[in-house]
Amino acid sequence: MDMPRVERCQVTQCCYNVERMCHALAITIGGDGVHPECDTYCGYRTKGGDLATLAGVGACKVSECQFNQSLECTASGITVGPGQDEADCLTFRSR
């Protein structure tokens, strides 16, 4: 199984966001297990991550998402953006 990539991140205040791209090695989608929150979001002023890397989804803890298979994301291309929280997985689809 290949790790799906975060193709776009609209949360520009996240420390991993540079030019609307996520540069963490991988993100975790989770929150409370029902809501698709980006658990990797951090609001530090200092930018981090690896500019040569585009993030993938390393784990998904949202059991109600149709793309969740054994806690792994099977979607093709992820978009993170503002939602119920500062950073949510906008690719989420309820089962």
What DSSP state is assigned to residue 26?
E
Q: Please provide the distance, in angstroms rounded to a whole number, between the alpha carbons at the two ends of the chain.
A: 21
Give pTM, 2 decimals: 0.91
The ranges assigned to domains in the chain are 6-89
Question: Which of 22-26, 34-38, 43-47 is most confident?
Answer: 22-26
Cβ–Cβ under 8 Å, residues 15 and 27: no
Nearest CA among 57, 47, 56, 52 for reference residue 17? 47
Q: What is the pLDDT of residues 9-34, one digit of tens each?
A: 999 999 999 999 999 999 999 978 77
| Beta bridge partner(s), residue 38 | 29
Tokens 């991988």 — which residue? 26
pLDDT in tens, 63-86: 999 999 999 999 999 999 998 888
pLDDT-derived band at 62 (thresholds 50, 70, 90) equals very high
Instruction: Work out whether the CA dihedral 42, 76, 66, 79 comes out positive or negative.
Output: positive
